[in-house]
Amino acid sequence: MDIRALVAPLRADAVSGAAVIARRAARLVRRAARETPAADVRALRSALSRLAVALLEAQPAMAPLVALARDVLIAVEGVDEIEEARGAAAAAALAFTATLERAGQAVAGAAVPLIPEGGRVLTLSSSSTVRWALLAAARERALRVTCLESRPLREGRRLARALEEAGIPVRFAVDAAVASLVDESDIVLVGADSVGDRGVVNKIGTRAAALAAGAARVPVYVLADRTKLLPPGFPQPLGGTGPAHEVWRAPRGVEIWNHYFEATPVELASGLVTEEGVLDPAAVAAQRAALAVPPRLREWSRSRRTAWTAG
């Protein structure tokens, strides 16, 4: 099985959020567990390890891929029979998908009480967890939403369209308007692709929204289930540079800066909304410290930490 070809469509996705990417990755793992040529368990473990690394390299900002790799690699440890190992890997990927779905819905449910009756919510990008929270809240109370477009790919349009179709009043605005619009907001809700040593890594514009909300004394909540948490010391890359033409087909002498992700300190948020409720920075750190890391992931982490720390 050609791992590079298998992972290529996932690598090319610059729009989908972490949960969507993770579900697609889990399907790839299940396929690989069934179809990868392997004479014995050792060969299968090696192939799954290579796939896990390829997934992490394809979407390095997405922490759920770390959780998926961890679950699958742990599942095949101590298994002696090849067919049993295939079944264990596929079952782990399937269980991960189910957990991801339940966790996202639980986080969304925990966020609903934070949204005031008749309040205006400001958000950016197109987090599936934020969308679930807004749709759930709208079934209980009146609310309005301001969606920032999330340049350069404008995935904020996806969220605005989904909310409008659900009958929720939506205002759509350019990212640069965040400081003006947060003054009119009651709460800021954002998603997360990872939570680690650097803080909350999410789409570019998240830090500006958090800083503007802090200055306006508007609460900011990050919606992130446990799959978004990275162990201490684990690399937390911001991803590479996107194509220049997404921003502007500029004259030759103009340098285009096009990054999709940025880090926002956890301390800028009013809290991290998880399956277990709203956590403060100390509780987030404790949960991260308790995460298990299989040897292959720890080895990969060490090899990439230096290169990505400056990324």
Name the 3-class secondary structure at 5: helix
Q: How far apart are CA 242 and CA 141, in angstroms?
A: 39
Tell the burial category of 94 from Cβ atoms under 10 Å away from its Cβ (0-12, 13-18, 19+).
Answer: middle
* Average pLDDT score over the chain: 91
Measured distance CA(275)–CA(223) in Å, rounded: 9
Contacts for 146 with CB less than 8 Å, ≥ 6 apart = 120, 121, 122, 123, 170, 171, 172, 173, 181, 184, 185
Q: How does DSSP classify residue 175?
A: G
Contact 38, 44 (CB under 8 A): yes
Q: Tell me, what amino acid is at 69? A: A
Structural domains of the chain, with CATH:
3-105+293-309 (1.20.120.420), 107-289 (3.40.50.10470)
pLDDT at position 75 is 93
Judged by average pLDDT, the poorest of 5-19, 122-136, 189-203 is 5-19
pLDDT value for 302: 82
Round to whole Å and give the CA distance between 184 and 173: 13
pLDDT value for 311: 43
What region does 78 belong to: left with phi over 0, alpha with psi -120 to 50, or beta? left
Is residue 193 annotated as part of the catalytic site, yes or no?
A: yes
Provide the percentage of residues in the chain whose pLDDT is more than 90.
Answer: 74
d(C-alpha 5, C-alpha 1), whole Å = 9
Q: Kindly report whether the global pTM for this prediction surpasses the value 0.75.
A: yes
Distance in angstroms (rounded) separating the CA atoms of residues 284 and 226: 10
71, 175, 193, 225: which is the annotated catalytic residue?
193
Instruction: Read off the tokens for 75.
Output: 């599942």
| pLDDT tens digits, 125-180 | 999 999 999 999 999 999 999 999 999 999 999 999 999 999 999 999 999 999 99
Q: Can you tell me whether residue 130 is helix, strand or coil?
A: helix
Confidence category of residue 190, pLDDT binned at 50, 70, 90: very high
- DSSP summary character for residue 241: B
Q: Please give the pLDDT value at position 307.
A: 54
Q: How far apart are CA 164 and CA 167, in angstroms?
A: 5
Report residue 213's pLDDT band, with 50, 70 and 90 as the boundaries: very high
Q: Is 66 exposed, middle or buried (0-12, 13-18, 19+ CB in 10 A)?
A: buried
What's the rounded Cα separation, in Å, for the pair 130 and 134?
Answer: 6
Q: Looking at the DSSP assignment, which residues form a beta bridge with residue 201? A: 194, 263
Beta bridge partners of 259: 241
